[in-house]
Structure 1
Amino acid sequence: MDVSLLHDIAPFSTEQRAMRILLVDDNESMVELSATFLERELDDVETETYTDPVSALDELTDGAYDCVVSDYDMPVMDGLELLTAARERGIEIPFALFTGKGSEEIASRAISAGVDEYLQKGGPEEYPVLANKVSNLVEKHRAETHMRRGFLAIESAEEGIGIIDGDGVYQYLNEAYAALYNRNRAELIGEHWDVLYPDDEARRFHEEILPQLEAEGSWRGISTGVTKTGELVPERLVLTRMDDGGHVCIVQELTEVDALRAEVELKDRVLDAVGVAIVVIDPSKPDNPVVYCNEAFEALTGYDAAAVEGRNYRSLYGPETDPETVADIRAAVDAGEPISTDIRSYGAGGEPFWAHLDIRPIRDDDGALECFVGFYRAADRDGDADSA
């Protein structure tokens, strides 16, 4: 996987605290000199010096320091033995061997032991080199640490998270993503995303969703995937476009309530497409307020949902609305009965329009009234519904 893709997933933070360096050298003047030069060469650095490697090892707890700079030739425990002991304790911070006793043999042993940097002591000109190498080691280690933490978070997330390249091929996905479709990761890495969607849904992606993703940089909504055995998976999907043309996918299976809402949204899209304006009225609240309207209603009346919801449905009536028709509608609503009529209404700008109105009561399984649904369709001045 191209690790550069992860920069578009989340901005893993970098450490802002001071860089803490542990210096170990049995020569007290030399270790103090090293600390002085590092503090001079590096910004925002703290140093701790030890002449006894055993005591230094006792101080090496996880997270206490960002890097160790150690001499090689020391009594009781040399630099490589210090490194081995630290690694056995699970201390994985960078380790630089800064020694005055250099040889090909020591260099070879240092590399085999896993030393991150090997430098020989010299004059003052060596300290800028040491400082640069220490700074690079710490920066690299911090970045890798945050990356690992980020991956652990992604891997353990309940949401499915996947990365798709510019050709639509899965480059990465976590276990939750694959499990949603009753698959494992090995089956999906290298496959095109359309293997997880029925043909009609794949067409919707190509014709509607992906163009919006390209234009706006993101898309979120309801979609329907398919498992390996052909079972449909109602899902909530969030797509975010990356600079390289690919995108990040976050997916969750819908709950039963979410699935019902998705079904309502689908029906709304169908009714919007045929130009039927819909309002839902709640009879359990004072003055029977509108609690929902669809896009077709907004287009017909000029009102947006925020301006209508919470108001009585009679807010569309005006001075030339027939009072007898209004009385008939109110009587039907009060009685919990359906009504169908033509009515002169008024839009958000005060302009009158004729509409054919159907109001239907919606009841639960026990017959209790839950709400009214009003269907508006534009009509001509003679009251005939427009053919659309």
Structure 2
Amino acid sequence: MMQVLHVDDEPVILEMTQFFLERSGEVQVTTCTSAEEALGLIESTEFDAVISDYEMPGMNGIDFLFELRCAGITVPFIIFTGRGREEVVIEALNQGADFYIHKGGEARSQFAELRNAVRQAVEKYQADQEVRVSERRISEIFHHLPDATFAVDCGGRILAWNRAMEEMSGVAAREIVGTGGHVYASPFYGISRPTLVDALLHPGEEVDAAYTVIQQEKGLIIAETEEASVDGRPAVLWAKVTLLYDQNGNVAGAIESVRDITAQKQAEKELILAGEYRRTLIEAHIDPLVTIGPDRRITDVNAATETLTGLGRTALIGTDFCSLFTDPGRAEDVCKMVMADGAVREYPLAIQGADGDVCPVLFYGTIYLGRDEEARGVFAELHAPLPGGGEQGICRVMAPSLPG
């Protein structure tokens, strides 16, 4: 039920208004005879709308409205008066009145108009409040996004610049919001120039060659560029751009999020180089070499291993290392022993090639730890003993060179 405060110095008008408005069952009216009294009520009671006469002793209706607005009270306000001069109407509306309704005429229609005005004003006010709350929540979410993010309208004018973007760019939101001319690119490229956001807003334009597109579809582009800088140092940036829509579903602009992935890219390059180095070492060795993980799955082999087993590299990688032996159970046991004890020496096994030939071997194994001191795999050697003692060849099996 809507709570309405009615202010008028004529008790008869107050009684009639209360009667006609409350008979609908959707309004409850509180009455008072002066603006001064009304200000006191508003301090202690929450009302959905205020109806006020214009000409009253002491403070008139427009001065009353002015006091409310100066105090930051935005409750819907309706002037309900017999005074109808045009300048009064204009002043009332300029001060923020929602409706101006003349007293007089047939009571039923007059109060029906007043009731409708109250309903419309309250519904609009509540809808506006919901929008403000929603916008405030969206703004809070926007500013708490972990990625540096900014938004522009269709003309390229900056609408928002979140805290992460302030930290990454060194540019405060108050200095850049409202500007245009591609200035959002300056902190990262040294000049004002189109970025990924412009390619999305102008579908006819191709994505700048400085970007490597990872994903592109309607309303979305994800790309990387190595032609950027952060804090004066060269940087690799990941960027994601999506369209921004208004309440009617029309494109209102776009949002671009930026992430510095320089360290990640460097780590990937180092990992690739480490893998290439490991492969070089493996292939350069004349004896069979295999890398296995803690799950005993083969992760890499060299050409000598392919010759020993009669199986190609593709067929071996991903298979269970223990399955290469005539007794997989014993092979699994020795792998567990290495993981438990840290090392095993001269453990007899037999490896069977694809052609059926069986080669007896002695297993030497050592656990491999990462920087976190967690077991990452097993380094092992398989020695094929010569008749009567000695060793005629070596099949070495070692843990993968894992990062960390």
Residue 211 of structure 1 corresponds to 217
Residue 373 of structure 2 corresponds to 369
Q: Distance in 2 between matches of 1:373 and 1:213?
A: 46
Residue 96 of structure 1 corresponds to 78
Amino acid at match of 2:126: R
**Residue 372 (structure 1) shift:** 0.9
Q: Distance in 2 between matches of 1:213 and 1:25?
A: 56
Amino acid at match of 1:116: D
Secondary structure, in 3 states, of the residue corresponding to 1:369? coil
Aligned: 1:21 with 2:8: no
Equivalent pairs counted in the alignment come to 293
Query: What are the within-5 Å matches in structure 2 for residues 211-250 of structure 1?
Result: 211=217, 214=220, 226-227=229-230, 229-230=232-233, 232=235, 242=245, 243-244=249-250, 247-248=254-255
Q: 1:279 to 1:93 in 2, by over 3 A?
A: farther
* 1:72 corresponds to which of 38, 49, 54: 54
**Residue 335 (structure 1) shift:** 5.3
Aligned: 1:127 with 2:111: yes
Q: Distance in 1 between matches of 2:44 and 2:136?
A: 18
Amino acid at match of 2:7: V
Amino acid at match of 2:151: I
Q: Distance in 1 between matches of 2:373 and 2:266?
A: 19
* 2:88 corresponds to which of 82, 89, 106: 106
Amino acid at match of 1:90: G
Q: Distance in 1 between matches of 2:33 and 2:352?
A: 95
Question: Could you tell me whether the CA contact under 8 Å between 2:7 and 2:35 is conserved in 1?
Answer: yes
Provide, for residues 105-153 of structure 1, a one-character-per-residue CA deviation record: whole Å limited to 9, x for no partner: 4224424444332121132223333333333322333343344445555
Q: Distance in 2 between matches of 1:91 and 1:68?
A: 11
Residue 136 of structure 1 corresponds to 120
* 2:169 corresponds to which of 168, 173, 181: 181
Question: Could you tell me whether the CA contact under 8 Å between 2:144 and 2:162 is conserved in 1?
Answer: no
Question: Could you tell me whether the CA contact under 8 Å between 1:214 and 1:241 is conserved in 2?
Answer: no
Range moving further from structure 2, 72-81 or 57-66: 57-66
Identify which of structures 1 and 2 has the higher relative contact order when contacts are C-alpha pairs closer than 8 Å and 6+ apart. Answer: 1
* Unpaired runs of at least 5, structure 1: 1-17, 282-287, 291-314, 345-358, 375-388
**Residue 371 (structure 1) shift:** 3.5
**Residue 70 (structure 1) shift:** 0.4
Larger Rg: 2
Question: Could you tell me whether the CA contact under 8 Å between 1:194 and 1:202 is conserved in 2?
Answer: no
Amino acid at match of 1:95: F
Provide, for residues 73-119 of structure 1, a one-character-per-residue CA deviation record: whole Å limited to 9, x for no partner: 22232212222232343322222111012222422442444433212
Q: Distance in 1 between matches of 2:51 and 2:352?
A: 86
Amino acid at match of 1:32: E
**Residue 158 (structure 1) shift:** 3.7
Question: Could you tell me whether the CA contact under 8 Å between 2:153 and 2:159 is conserved in 1?
Answer: no
**Identity of matched residues, %:** 22
Secondary structure, in 3 states, of the residue corresponding to 1:133? helix
Relative to its length, the structure with more strand (as a share) is 2
Residue 303 of structure 2 corresponds to none
Q: Distance in 2 between matches of 1:335 and 1:213?
A: 57
Provide, for residues 293-323 of structure 1, a one-character-per-residue CA deviation record: whole Å limited to 9, x for no partner: xxxxxxxxxxxxxxxxxxxxxx985996631
**Residue 183 (structure 1) shift:** 2.2
**Residue 55 (structure 1) shift:** 1.5
Q: 1:362 to 1:130 in 2, by over 3 A?
A: farther
Q: Distance in 2 between matches of 1:361 and 1:319?
A: 18
Q: 1:29 to 1:89 in 2, by over 3 A?
A: same
Provide, for residues 251-278 of structure 1, a one-character-per-residue CA deviation record: whole Å limited to 9, x for no partner: 7889xxxx98x6799689989xx9xxx9
Secondary structure, in 3 states, of the residue corresponding to 1:60? helix
RMSD of the alignment, in Å?
5.3
Q: Distance in 2 between matches of 1:161 and 1:47?
A: 49
Residue 336 of structure 2 corresponds to 330
Q: Distance in 1 between matches of 2:258 and 2:45?
A: 35
Aligned: 1:84 with 2:66: yes
Provide, for residues 3-43 of structure 1, a one-character-per-residue CA deviation record: whole Å limited to 9, x for no partner: xxxxxxxxxxxxxxx432211112223223323433456x7
Query: What are the within-5 Å matches in structure 2 for residues 1-388 of structure 1?
Result: 18-39=1-22, 44-61=26-43, 64-122=46-104, 123=106, 124-153=108-137, 157-159=143-145, 162-164=150-152, 169=156, 171-179=158-166, 180-185=168-173, 187=176, 189-190=179-180, 207-211=213-217, 214=220, 226-227=229-230, 229-230=232-233, 232=235, 242=245, 243-244=249-250, 247-248=254-255, 322=325, 323=328, 325-327=331-333, 329-334=335-340, 336=342, 361-364=368-371, 369-372=373-376
